[in-house]
Amino acid sequence: MKIKHLFLFFLTIIWLSCSDDDSNPVPVDPEVPATPVVVGMRDGINLISDDSLGFVLFAPGKESVYLIGDFNNWEVSEKYKMKKDSETNRFWIRIGDLQKDKEYICQYLIDNAIRVADPYANKISDPWNDSKILSTIYPNLIAYPTGKTEEIAMVVNTSPDSYSWKVSNFKVSNPDNMVIYEILIRDFTEEGSIKGVQGKLDYLQNLGVNAIELMPFNEFEANNSWGYNPSFYFAPDKAYGTSNDYKAFIDACHQRGIAVIMDIVLNHSYGQSPMVRMYHDGKYNPTADNPWYNQKSNFANPDAQWGCDFNHESQYTKVFVDSVFSYWMKEYKIDGFRLDFTKGFSNTPYPADSWGSPYDAARIKNLKRIYDEIKKRNSDAIVIFEHLSDNDEEKELAEYGIKLWGNINYNFNEATMGWGAGQGEYGPKGDVKWASYKERGWTKPNLVAYMESHDEERIMFKNNSYGNDEHPPYNVQELATGLQRTEAAAVILMTLPGPKMIWQFGEVGYDFELNNDRLGKKPVRWDYYDVPERKALYDVYVKMNKLRNANSAFSTADYTIDLAGQYKQILLKSGNDYVCAIANFDLEPLSAEVDLGKAGQWQEYFTNTTTDFPTGKQTIELQQGEYRLYISK
């Protein structure tokens, strides 16, 4: 620090300590001309002391910024004109005489035209949506200063709520064999809150999941959303609860040995983002001088375009993105991230007919950089990409250590519906071999395979609606039959090594249609657990998850599969431990030669019966929809 700056800094501290005017907080150092940002102050809101805050805004190309808020009655005043650091393109100010434990609402007024909250704000005040948040979810929420300003503002406090962590050093055990449970907080409990989710942790622990993936819960536009329209990246959305509610949930998960994965959207954001609003054309399209966003998406395909497209080649975007990950891991002890649509993290143009895309070295470089930065901050962090690209890219990312979403919904559902014998565009409809990471040519088990996620139509809805009813009296559209076939699918999926994912209520056969109102609120159906046929599906998941955690064979790299036909089988080998899963997805009984790997005594896991197999290959008949899981003794 230069001597002049050090001298000014100490003058400031002395001036603050001597001030006895509590009626109106005043800016620190009002006489100082445009100067570099004080050493130690970072972008965003800086806590200086119990009565002082500092504000730093990165705003290249802007001429002036005023801080306006409760502390100056929302008046534009030269006393609150932020100093400009021309070398770093930042505006900054420090204010004192704030009351400890009191929340203040404020904004930046940029060039006397644009009112925004700080992009790094950890709590916002929303003029359109805060009033609709129930007090049972967020008690004593500070009211927006209607009539004094407009647009979203930030809430600041010199003494924010603290949280005393019960678990400070949680580490994910065996991430390569995780069972992840994906949750949309809004639709998981009647309360629609993070506290409500915490109240179901006993249920989830009994189910055997060891990771929960929360759909985006940083501030998104409006209150009723999937969360893929993010606006502020450092603030948990108040529609689900308070900051400490989220922390208490994560802490409670860690106490049960459950990791928490944050779904986050860094491909795009929308018009409420302050980084969009600072540089746009009047219609919320980013302008050429926007430091963080491309002027338009490089995907000509409209199905791959959402909102304003982040420019991941920009150094400013890189700094921002790294800060986001660092914040959630440090402040909330988040265990990892699922990154939405990582195929978009590139400026390489793609044609209108492209959903899959050619290999893009620039994109791979961007994504590896992000992964490295996350791991630099937490070497145990889980990193999952929804990449949706061709296998050459996904294989390279998997070999680098990144886990990737593996959507096997269509083929699994064709099998459960009884149409698996048909021929699809890419081969047999019921062929689920792509759920095996080895089938993709990967050497590391980094495929998060799943039958359902938030994006896919529900397995049981399609069983009920479109299941094969052409072989009476066996009718897939009957609830019990469709559920039994889903049990068979669950056994096949969960036997395969590598992490797996269950969508909320998938374990009880949720069958309310997704696409009747794709983004709309869906019924909460905890009553499904009390339906015997649905509880039977839940019990299959419980048993499979328990077995995955207890038997090392489920983490083996030595396994073979035959998953293309109607009679599916998997053989796992781990030392002397062998596991063989078989299932018949035909509509008639089938016999097939099953490769057990060795002769001897075998226990069927679900019936607890023991059978002597004199050779390693046995012909076994299965009824339609029947499944078995043999474990060598």
Convert the pLDDT of each residue in 19-53 to its tens digit.
333 334 545 444 445 689 999 999 999 999 999 99
Q: DSSP alpha helices (H): ranges in 227-271? A: 243-255
**Dihedral of alpha carbons 562, 537, 547, 199, sign:** positive
> Which residue spans within 390-439 are E strands per DSSP?
403-407, 423-424, 427-428
Distance CA 477, CA 416 (A): 10
- Of the two residues 604 and 303, the one the predictor is more confident about is 604
3-state DSSP assignment of residue 562: strand
Distance CA 342, CA 306 (A): 13
The pLDDT confidence band at residue 175, using thresholds 50, 70 and 90, is very high
Closest CA to 30 of 69, 67, 58: 67
- CATH 2.60.40.1180 placement within the chain: 562-632
The pLDDT confidence band at residue 428, using thresholds 50, 70 and 90, is confident
- CATH 3.20.20.80 placement within the chain: 175-555
Mean pLDDT over 190-214 rounds to 98
Give pLDDT, residue 27. Answer: 53
Q: What percent of the chain has pLDDT over 90?
A: 89
Q: DSSP alpha helices (H): ranges in 302-344? A: 315-331
Please give the CATH topology (third level) of the domain spanning 3-156: Immunoglobulin-like (2.60.40)
Give pLDDT, residue 625. Answer: 98
Q: In degrees to the nearest 10, what's the CA dihedral of 430, 434, 438, 444?
A: -140
- Of the two residues 13 and 424, the one the predictor is more confident about is 424
Mean pLDDT over 312-317 rounds to 97
CATH architecture of 562-632: Sandwich (2.60)
Give whole-number Cα distances, 216 to 81, 131, 228, 281, 340, in Å: 35, 21, 7, 28, 10
**Region label for 552, one of left (φ > 0), alpha (ψ between -120 and 50) or beta (otherwise):** alpha
Mean pLDDT over 162-169 rounds to 96
Enter the pTM of the model. 0.94
Please give the CATH topology (third level) of the domain spanning 175-555: TIM Barrel (3.20.20)
- CATH 2.60.40.10 placement within the chain: 3-156
Give pLDDT, residue 305. Answer: 84
Distance CA 361, CA 370 (A): 14
CB 130 within 8 A of CB 123: no
How far out from the chain centre does Cα 574 lie?
A: 33
Give pLDDT, residue 26. Answer: 46
